[in-house]
Amino acid sequence: MNRVLVVEDESHLAEGLRFNLEAEGYEVETVDTGEAALEKLHEGMAFDVLILDVMLPGRDGFGVMTEMRQTGLLVPTLMLTARGHSDDVLRGFEAGADDYLTKPFDLAILIARIRGLLRRRNWLQPPAAPAASARKPEDVFTFGVDSDKWVNFDSLELWVRNQVFRLTLMEANLLRFMIEHEGKPVSRKSMLQKVWSLQEDTDTRPIDNFIVRLRRYLEDDPKTPKHLLTVRGVGYQFVAVPA
């Protein structure tokens, strides 16, 4: 049975979620503060999905997400953001959330999103050894002067200098989008629309933070990038094999 942790301070909403998710066959725990959520996670309670409200008393959803990331607590997370706060969405992804819904949301959509997170959950677990016949070709892109860097979009692992970095889903989506446009400048607005499905009037600054983070992973010297170049007045450009 899949276990869901709901972090929501509006008790009627938390209980509504519990009732409906239990009816769908999930085991549900609810807490009403970020601190209580972190306590449960630190205690080692295993959850398959976290539903995390942004607006919480005390530590908010961003704070919870940030601590989870810093302490390696990897649970697929869907954030609940307030309507009209599209910047919250980017902040949430920046903090490491995997998906989001804007309140008020349709329950059928929430359940579909949870199923989506459960399907992607495999990348958070150590790979089991599948039977050779069942193994699918992996979605891997190799780059770098000596083909010494590669990213596996199935496992969300990025290998650079014999080091492995675990990307968040959104870091991986952004990197894939850049790779798909290899050699061409990509505007911040098109990243917002295609990677995050956000309107173009959203603040684009968080994108720069995503790029800074990707550079830290994949550049030999993040201060003089060779793969993720800045294109002044436009955005960024990915170069697979620097000259």
Shortest distance in whole angstroms from residue 146 CB to Ca ion: 50
Sign of CA dihedral 70, 95, 206, 185: positive
CB of 48 or CB of 53, closer to Ca ion: 53
Which one of 3-11, 83-91, 127-135, 170-178 is the stretch in contact with Ca ion (CB under 5 A)? Answer: 3-11
The residue type at 45: M
Which one of 6-14, 43-51, 87-95, 168-176 is the stretch in contact with Ca ion (CB under 5 A)? Answer: 6-14
CB of 9 or CB of 35, closer to Ca ion: 9
Distance of CA 136 to the CA centre of its chain: 24
Does 9 sit near Ca ion (CB under 5 A)? yes
Does 53 sit near Ca ion (CB under 5 A)? yes
Q: Output the residue with the shortest Cβ distance to Ca ion.
A: 55
CB of 53 or CB of 99, closer to Ca ion: 53
* Contact residues for 229 (Cβ-Cβ < 8 A; gap 6+): 236, 237, 238, 239
Element (H, E) at 109: helix 107-120
In DSSP notation, 72-85 reads T----EEEEE-TT-
CB of 9 or CB of 87, closer to Ca ion: 9
| Member of 55, 74, 101, 239 binding Ca ion (CB under 5 A) | 55
Among residues 117, 109, 101, the alpha carbon closest in space to that of 48 is found at 117
CB of 60 or CB of 157, closer to Ca ion: 60
* Contact residues for 97 (Cβ-Cβ < 8 A; gap 6+): 52, 65, 77, 78, 79, 168, 170
Which one of 45-53, 81-89, 171-179, 207-215 is the stretch in contact with Ca ion (CB under 5 A)? Answer: 45-53
Q: Where on the chain is the footprint of Ca ion (CB under 5 A)?
A: 9, 53, 55
